[in-house]
């Protein structure tokens, strides 16, 4: 399974995936290309250090979202990418892009969806008074963090937590969970049927 990883920033989840690949924990999944919509970010350095192709496709160079997504789609298809992995990619994808990779785009979000979608999820959890927070890996659809849920991991919200402390503990769970899900997908142990996701399936 050839992975195309989309990034916009420092790439700590990308690093967790690259480390898992180097240590043989991704099964048959192979990081093939890392693409950033923001030039010069740390994630591109991480990719190059791991020997993975790193590309910049600056969204500001395009007149519209569809035009940018078409360029992104072309780059991924040219490299025969099987699974698109959003690893801190801060752009919403168009329906045309998602249709080009049906059921093959995943994301990780720092909350227990459907609670607290969008930006600053740990802050949302604290403001709400949640006692449990966490992260979610999900398939991507045209909404904001509304795709079918694949897997989740939880963390306790402590009485002395601020946003930074809670976000750091959630991020540690993201680094553990995301490579695990990618391996399950590569081993065909996850199957999507509409809004439902079946775990443990393996088909020849």
pLDDT for 193 equals: 61
pLDDT at position 192 is: 72
Distance of CA 114 to the CA centre of its chain: 16
Nearest to 153 by CA among 1, 16, 33: 16
Average pLDDT score over the chain: 95
10 Å Cβ neighbour count for 200? 8
Sign of CA dihedral 130, 135, 138, 141: positive
The pair of three-digit structure tokens given for residue 136, joined into one six-digit string: 């979610």
**What are 118-149's pLDDT values in tens digits?**
999 999 999 999 999 999 999 999 999 999 99
pLDDT at 202: 54
Give the pLDDT of residue 191.
74
What pTM did the predictor assign?
A: 0.94
Q: What confidence score (pLDDT) does residue 96 get?
A: 95
For each of the domains in the chain, give its residue range(s) and CATH number, in order of start: 2-199 (3.40.50.170)
Strand partners, 34: 5, 54
Point out the residues that are catalytic: 109
| Nearest one of 106, 107, 4 to 55, comparing CA atoms | 4
Confidence of residue 35 (pLDDT cuts 50, 70, 90): very high
Q: Which of 87, 196, 191 is nearest to 147 (CA)?
A: 196
Residue 147 · residue 107 · CB < 8 Å:
yes
Cβ contact 4:85 at 8 Å: yes
């Amino acid at each position: 399974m050839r992975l195309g990883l989309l990034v916009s920033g420092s790439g700590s989840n990308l690093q967790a995936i690259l480390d898992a690949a180097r240590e043989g924990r991704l099964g048959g999944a192979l990081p093939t290309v890392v693409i950033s919509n923001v030039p010069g970010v740390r994630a591109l350095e991480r990719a190059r250090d791991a020997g993975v192709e790193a590309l910049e496709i600056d969204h500001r160079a395009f007149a519209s979202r569809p035009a940018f997504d078409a360029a992104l789609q072309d780059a991924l298809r040219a490299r025969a990418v099987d699974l698109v992995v959003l690893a801190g990619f801060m752009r919403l994808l168009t329906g045309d892009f998602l249709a080009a990779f049906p059921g093959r785009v995943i994301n990780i979000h720092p909350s227990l969806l459907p609670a607290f979608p969008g930006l600053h999820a740990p802050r949302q959890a604290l403001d709400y008074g949640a006692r449990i927070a966490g992260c979610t890996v999900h398939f991507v659809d045209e909404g904001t963090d509304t795709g079918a849920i694949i897997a989740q991991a939880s963390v306790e919200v402590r009485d002395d937590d601020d946003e930074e402390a809670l976000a750091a503990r959630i991020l540690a769970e993201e680094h553990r969970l995301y490579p695990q899900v990618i391996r399950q997908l590569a081993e065909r142990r996850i199957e999507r049927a509409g809004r439902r996701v079946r775990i443990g399936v393996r088909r020849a």
